[in-house]
């Protein structure tokens, strides 16, 4: 028994360790965030509200059926149903009615309301997808930011290691009298500066992890690690041949924010029709069945009168008829609703145009940023190669005392800056390219 318990505990520890070390891919981060984000859940509640509104609008076209009942005690002067005269009696009476009604024509308001609610439901579903898309793009940005910061940390580590190696070499040369002691102090300062840069880079990496885990609604970034994918080289030639207008044509048909704005415009068009329907006559069909029974209360608490069901049968009344209502003047409320609905339609049309313009500007900006990043990447590659060659040359001269430690530090800093610029251009190009691919309907993945 003890061995079994011990095995279970060991297995639990191993499982917990494996889970804590499990890495998160970009796809998993996006899926998890979309499933747990509060904004997404709120939008999904709006979908449920619109589903209920649609069901209600469908039910309103069905006939109504109501049963009403009433039982009263009367004391003093009442109408005697048996003699149809006023008498001073103590009586009790029961009555009930059944009524039904069905709209025949109401200016097509019911059918237009049902269609409007259908478009409202579609718009709310598209709004959910819009929030999910925004989350996906933000997740991708934060994910790439972590990858970028991780590489910056590696650069800082390499630079620190290089400075430490140079410190060891300089210390030997100073001890041998080949270099002045001041060179040693300058290299020691360089090592301290590189150590600070490594700390700053690590802090920025930790902050990037915190930002991503907060968006994922995780309690803590502790134990959270992302996968390090092999990122393919961006096809810059294909990118140069892309046309923002062509990308927009594709995006306009699939982006949910555009679909939502279209559905809302169609809903507003129906809202105007509903408002105009209030100016038209209304015709409805109705039917009623009414009956009742009355009893006289004697002093000995006995009841007199015809039997209950006999009175129900004899007192029954039935009716069926049509009701017509023609609006003539109602304080201009109907016409005011038409004016308001017309303004709402114009606003929905402007909202759609605004969404289209915003999408096109986003595509234009992403395209321009991608082109700029690609050019910066090519220039950074040349700058890095030149900086590496310059640094090797300066390092060799510094090792034999031909240049000062200040010259060595300057060449080293230029190399670090070139590596940083190259890294920044690389991830900027990756992210902007992913945005353009996303607008063309491709999933966000690395």
Mean pLDDT of 276-301: 82
- Name residue, tokens 């149903």: 81
Q: Report the distance separating Cα 247 and Cα 188, nearest Å.
A: 54
pLDDT band at 233 (very low <50, low <70, confident <90, very high): low
Q: List pLDDT tens digits, range 118-137.
A: 999 999 999 999 999 999 99
* pLDDT above 80 (res 232): no
d(CA 287, CA 310) in angstroms, rounded, equals 23
Answer whether residue 297 shows pLDDT above 70.
no
Q: How confident is the model at residue 445 (pLDDT cuts 50, 70, 90)?
A: confident
| Alpha-carbon gap, residue 25 to 445, rounded angstroms | 9
User: How far does CA 47 lie from the centroid of its chain?
Assistant: 12
**Residue 333: predicted pLDDT:** 83
> What's the mean pLDDT in 253-272?
96
> Please, which pLDDT band fits residue 139 given cuts at 50, 70 and 90?
very high
359-395 residues labelled b (16+ CB within 10 A) or e (exposed): bbebbeebbebbbebbebbeebeebbeebeebbeebb
User: How sure is the predictor about 352, in pLDDT bands with cuts at 50, 70 and 90?
Assistant: very high
* Gap between the Cα atoms of 224 and 210, Å rounded: 9
Integer Rg of the chain from CA = 40
Element (DSSP H or E) covering residue 35 = helix 26-36
pLDDT exceeds cutoff 50 at 13: no
Q: Quote the pLDDT of residue 40.
A: 93
Q: What span, in angstroms and rounded, lies between the C-alpha atoms of 102 and 322?
A: 10
Mean pLDDT of the chain: 86
On the question of pLDDT at 184 being above 90, the answer is no
Contact 104, 92 (CB under 8 A): no
Per-residue pLDDT reduced to its tens digit, 151-169: 999 999 999 999 998 899 8
- CA distance to 13, 21, 23, 68, 214, per residue, from 16 (Å): 5, 9, 14, 65, 22
List, as one string, the DSSP characters of 220-231. Answer: --TT-EE----P
- Six token digits for residue 425: 């251009």
Mean pLDDT of 229-256: 80
Q: Does pLDDT of 87 surpass 90?
A: no
User: pLDDT digit string (tens) for 52-71?
Assistant: 999 999 998 889 999 999 98
Joined tokens for residue 292: 């009742």
Q: How large a percentage of the chain has pLDDT more than 90?
A: 57
β-bridge mates for residue 118, sequence order: none
Cα 278 to Cα 289: distance, rounded to the nearest angstrom = 30
Strands 317-325, 282-297: pairing kind:
antiparallel
Structure confidence by residue, pLDDT tens digits, 373-416: 889 999 999 999 999 999 999 988 887 778 888 888 899 999 99
- 110, 57 in Cβ contact below 8 A? yes
CB of 117 closer than 8 Å to CB of 109:
no
Q: Report strand pairing: 85-105 vs 303-304.
A: unpaired
- Tell me if the pTM is above 0.75: yes
Stronger pLDDT, 216 or 308, i.e. the higher one: 216
Reduced to 3 states (helix: H, G, I; strand: E, B; else coil), residue 129 is helix
Query: What pLDDT is attached to residue 235?
Result: 61
Taking alpha carbons only, the member of 41, 225, 48 closest to residue 143 is 225
Q: What is the DSSP string of 250-310?
A: HHHHH-HHHHHHHHHHHHHHHHHHHHHHTTS-EEEEEEEEEEEEEEEEPTTS-EESS-HHH
Percent of the residues in the chain that have a pLDDT greater than 70, as a whole number: 89
The tens digit of pLDDT for each residue in 23-38 reads 999 999 999 999 999 9
* 140, two tokens: 């991708």
Per-residue pLDDT at 7: 43
88 or 56, which is more confident? 56
């Amino acid at each position: 028994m003890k061995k079994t318990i011990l095995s279970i505990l060991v297995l639990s520890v191993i499982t917990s360790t494996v889970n804590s070390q499990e890495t998160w891919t970009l796809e998993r981060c996006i899926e998890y965030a979309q499933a747990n984000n509060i904004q997404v859940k709120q939008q999904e509640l709006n979908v449920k509200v619109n589903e209920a509104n649609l069901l209600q609008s469908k039910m309103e076209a069905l006939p109504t059926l109501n049963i009403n009942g009433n039982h009263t005690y009367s004391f003093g002067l009442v109408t005697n149903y048996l003699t149809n005269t006023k008498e001073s009696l103590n009586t009790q009476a029961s009555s009930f009615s059944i009524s039904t009604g069905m709209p025949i024509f109401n200016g097509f308001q019911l059918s237009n309301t049902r269609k409007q609610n259908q478009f409202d439901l579609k718009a709310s579903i598209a709004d959910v997808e819009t929030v999910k898309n925004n989350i996906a793009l933000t997740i991708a940005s934060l994910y790439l930011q972590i990858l970028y910061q991780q590489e910056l940390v590696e650069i800082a580590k390499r630079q620190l290691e290089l400075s430490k190696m140079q410190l060891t070499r300089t210390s030997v040369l100073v001890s041998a009298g080949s270099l002045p002691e001041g060179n040693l102090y300058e290299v020691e300062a360089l090592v301290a500066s590189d150590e600070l840069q490594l700390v700053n880079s690590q802090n920025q990496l930790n902050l990037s992890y915190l930002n991503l885990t907060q968006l994922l609604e995780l309690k803590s970034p502790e134990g959270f690690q992302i996968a390090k994918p092999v990122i393919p080289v961006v096809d810059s030639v294909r990118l140069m041949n892309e046309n923002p207008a062509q990308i927009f044509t594709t995006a306009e048909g699939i982006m949910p924010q555009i679909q939502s704005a279209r559905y809302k415009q169609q809903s507003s068009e129906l809202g105007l029709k509903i408002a105009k329907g209030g100016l038209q006559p209304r015709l409805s069909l109705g039917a009623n069945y009414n009956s009742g029974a009355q009893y006289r209360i004697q002093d000995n608490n006995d009841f007199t009168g015809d039997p209950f069901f006999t009175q129900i049968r004899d007192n029954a009344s039935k009716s069926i008829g049509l009701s017509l209502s023609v609006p003539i003047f109602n304080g201009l409320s109907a016409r005011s609703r038409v004016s308001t609905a017309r303004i709402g339609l114009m606003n929905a049309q402007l909202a759609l145009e605004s969404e289209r313009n915003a999408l096109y500007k986003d595509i234009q900006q992403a395209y321009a940023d991608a082109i700029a990043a690609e050019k910066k990447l090519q220039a950074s590659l040349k700058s890095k190669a030149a900086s590496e060659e310059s640094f090797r040359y300066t390092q060799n001269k510094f090792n034999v005392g031909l240049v000062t430690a200040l010259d060595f530090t300057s060449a080293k800093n230029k190399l670090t800056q070139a590596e940083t610029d190259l890294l920044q251009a690389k991830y900027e190009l990756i992210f902007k390219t992913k945005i353009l691919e996303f607008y063309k309907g491709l999933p966000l993945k690395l």
